[in-house]
Amino acid sequence: MNDPQRPINRNLRHVSYEIRGELAHRAQDLQRQGYEIIELNIGNPGRFGYRTPETMRLAMIENLGQSEPYCHQKGVFPAREAVVMQQQNRGVLDVSAEEVVIGNGVSELIDLCLRALLNAGDEVLVPSPDYPLWSASVALNQAQAVYYDCLPENGFHPDPEQIEALITPNTRAIVLINPNNPTGAVYSRETLEAIARIAERRGLVVFSDEIYDQMLYEDAEHVPMATLVHDTLCVTLSGLSKIYRACGYRIGWAVFSGKRETATDYLQAVELLASLRLCANVPGQWAVQTALGGVQSIQQLTAPGGRLFESRQAILDGVDKSDFLDVTAPEGAMYAFLRVNTRRLPEFDDRRFALELLEKQHVLIAPGSSFNVDYRDHFRVTTLPTPDEFAVVFRRIEAVLADMASRGRPRRVAMESG
């Protein structure tokens, strides 16, 4: 007889997703007690009043009658063809609808694409900090994440020389998240070209997570990785969740470009896995063509005067006024990765701070160490609240940090006098 107390899948020992972990569970407990929690831990536009464009909702409603059967395992043709048109407009000319797979969000596709590639003992180069689903998916598929640094002192941009030095005979792929979650960094063309050449020389699959591709501020430019990678396989991942504020539709896509002729077995494996889960959510797929072919309303939100731009500015202003905080201004995405001055707070720990901020001030954040870094002086917030809401948030953050500083002083004085 099976014992329910036997150990669970041992691969889960290397998996964490603290964005929805213990802190989020504690926040739910507080909400049940009647407290209002300001949730800054997840980039969830609908929670902050952002609406999916009306035309996308109408496209989905008008096609509900066609949404009851399973569709093709790769997705409905109009959705895949719309993705192809977008890629061609960006200069990626070697793809057709056959090279597009629609999934239940990028999250499902990350796991699917890695599962088709990896065997036990394989290695995947992953940025640090990373979006932790990438590390989790590598571990769940019995491979090892090898981290390349995107250091604060380098504006959270990667160093191609370090990346190449980390490659071993076991390295199968490299992951790029651009624009980056959690830091908001947008990588330069020069950096991306260098990484593309490394991947081509070493025969690595390039996974380019571009879910925030049009969420850019000021002069930032997003360069699609598929326009630079030609002599190896490039997998571009994107979807409706962020740019189109349609998280709940659960629609993402993977586009396979570059050197496909040597990846036939891999592409067949991807389709096999897509077939095993039958198909992606069908109603949401009917919104893709309208989304990609219509007015790109995200540009109004990220331009000066737009809500995302002004909320980002409110974060920069709040940091400016703080006695304890610093930040590298996010160039894209919907997050800021804030740093606490450990000269003022030498005993600072991001997890203890996050718990204290939640318990005392009812603000939920994501500790920086949740994103696979070896330092504990950062935390991530989403930029989705309004500027007025951020004014409240920063008052509460400052109150907790000031209290921590005041509690720390007597201990340090005692040690110095001793």
**What CATH number does residue 404 fall under?**
3.90.1150.10
In a domain? residue 22: yes
| Same domain (yes/no): 126, 139 | yes
Find out whether 10 and 347 touch, Cβ atoms under 8 Å.
Answer: no
In a domain? residue 358: yes
Find out whether 233 and 264 touch, Cβ atoms under 8 Å.
Answer: no
| Same domain (yes/no): 39, 94 | no
Find out whether 332 and 217 touch, Cβ atoms under 8 Å.
Answer: yes
Looking at the structure of the chain, the number of domains it has is 2
Last residue of some domain: 293, 317, 350?
A: 293
| pTM for the structure as a whole | 0.93
Range of the domain at 315: 10-50+299-417
Question: Which structure tokens are listed for 166?
Answer: 């980390």
Our CA angle for 88, 192, 122, nearest 5°, is 100
Question: Which structure tokens are listed for 324?
Answer: 């304890």
* Residue-by-residue pLDDT tens, the chain, 418 positions: 456 566 677 777 777 777 778 899 999 999 999 999 999 999 999 999 999 999 999 999 999 999 999 999 999 999 999 999 999 999 999 899 999 999 999 999 999 999 999 999 999 999 999 999 999 999 999 999 999 999 999 999 999 999 999 999 999 999 999 999 999 999 999 999 999 999 999 999 999 999 999 999 999 999 999 999 999 999 999 999 999 999 999 999 999 999 999 999 999 999 999 999 999 999 999 999 999 998 999 999 999 999 999 999 999 999 999 999 999 999 999 999 999 999 999 999 999 999 999 999 999 999 999 999 999 999 999 999 999 999 999 999 999 999 999 987 533 323 233 2
| Same domain (yes/no): 217, 108 | yes
In a domain? residue 2: no
